[in-house]
Amino acid sequence: MDTNSIFGIMDFLILGAGLYIFYSWYLLQYKGEIKEGVLVPQGYAKRCKDLDGFRSFIGPKVLALGIVSLLSGGICLYSDYVKSVSSYIYLGVTALFFIVLIWFITQTKKAQKLYFYS
Q: Is 83 helix (H, G, I), strand (E, B) or coil?
A: coil
Structural domain boundaries enclosing 26: 3-115
Tally the domains of the chain.
1
User: Is residue 103 pLDDT above 50, yes or no?
Assistant: yes
Q: Is 36 helix (H, G, I), strand (E, B) or coil?
A: strand
The per-residue pLDDT for range 7-52, each reduced to its tens digit, is: 889 999 999 999 999 999 999 999 999 999 989 999 888 999 999 9
The per-residue pLDDT for range 52-77, each reduced to its tens digit, is: 999 999 999 999 999 999 999 999 99
Model's pTM, two decimal places? 0.89
